[in-house]
Amino acid sequence: MRPITQSSKLAGVRYDVRGPILQEAERLEREGHEILKLNIGNPAVFGFEAPPEILEAMREALPKAQGYSDSRGILPAREAVAEHCAGLGIEGVGPDDVLIGNGVSELISLVLQALISPGDEILIPSPDYPLWTAQVTLAGGHAVHYPCDEQNGWMPDLGAIEELVTPRSKGIVLINPNNPTGAVYSPELVRGFAELAERHGLVLMSDEIYDHILYDGARHEHAARHVTGTLCLTFSGLSKIQRVAGYRAGWVVASGDRGIAADFLEGLRLLANMRMCANVPAQYAIPVALSSASNWSGIAELCAPGGRLREQRDAALRLLGEIPGVSCAAPGGAMYLFPRLDPARYDIHDDQRFVIELLRATRVMITNGRGFNLVTPDHVRFVTLPPVGVLSEAIGRIADYLDGVRVS
């Protein structure tokens, strides 16, 4: 019999956050081992609870949320997102400019499928959230990675990015705060991205899912505030800030010059129609989440001195800094650390293999840096969501393992 093989479209597509490392962890669990999973930003499993008013909104919505909604999302949710944008200083956004999706992940897929023709290029940071690169590849495009400088707090260089622009360039991705590095970009840098996109007629796609998870006085600048001469697409949702990742409630907002993008937006609407609609009960949580001041103060308190997210970040940074040959830039936002393992001390050539061997030896699951489209095999990423005690145990096991494999 002829073998049944995967589609050739999957060549080069990877998503290591849920790839071979997770499969090995699941195998170990089946054998009875307990795994400390520090590989994915899922707040609920680490005891972060959603604001009660969001849960109540979902419960109340169930009787009236049994059918399909408008493919763009229920009107109250889209109105709430538009009003939220106005409050952020993003002008001219109405409910027709908002598309609700099953989380930002689905919306990234829909947008790139609607935007990319074979061979089109999308500029994406390195390191990046790997879904961006994977979906560009799956859509038939080419991901062109612009480097971010670890020595400069993982900031990109706009001049270097501009040199990567070609006639095939269709869009540029901005992830702010960044996943996996936690870098928060200055207002000047964000304005520079907007100007670059306008200068070259690129769609600016701004992934802002962590926009309220900020530390040490960091300020988040919304890219859409600075875009008028091209199309800006802003991605956000409830999963991280309101701690309801499983609800799959996200949105993308079109702003800037929608006139030049009418054909693309029609294609995006077609794809949205084809998947019928997003999860309807979760859509009813959006107006409550965006209108309740307590939700925003709750995340601010978690990130402030004495707050759980801040204390966990600080503890993990301190513990990592005590390991010989390990360094980590302090993240200004998000919920991850992206430490570097000095190649002079740790001879790592295949970072995925290294992480799997670490998992087998320590029962701690993290993710390899090249899984985030970093060129070199000398970084790993893990979440800072577990309590300090769990982080201390996990990093202690990692430290012991590294001491045994250190070459100098």
* Structure confidence at residue 17 (pLDDT): 67
Give me the residue label for tokens 């979902």: 58
Give me the residue label for tokens 């229920």: 74
Name the pLDDT band for 365 (thresholds 50, 70, 90): very high
Domain 52-296, classified CATH 3.40.640.10, yes or no: yes
**Residue 208 DSSP label:** -
Strand-strand pairing, 169-175 and 121-126: parallel
- Write the Ramachandran bin of 395: left for phi over 0, alpha for psi from -120 to 50, otherwise beta: alpha
For the cut 70, the answer to whether the pLDDT of residue 295 exceeds it is: no
Instruction: For residue range 13-53, list pLDDT tens digits in order.
Output: 777 666 788 899 999 999 999 999 998 888 888 888 888 88
Show me where the domains of the chain are located: 8-49+305-405, 52-296
Instruction: For residue range 53-83, list pLDDT tens digits in order.
Output: 888 888 999 998 889 999 999 999 999 999 9
Contact between 195 and 319 (Cβ < 8 Å): no
Complete DSSP assignment for 143-177: EEEEEEEGGGTTEE-HHHHHTT--TTEEEEEEESS
CATH code for residues 8-49+305-405: 3.90.1150.10
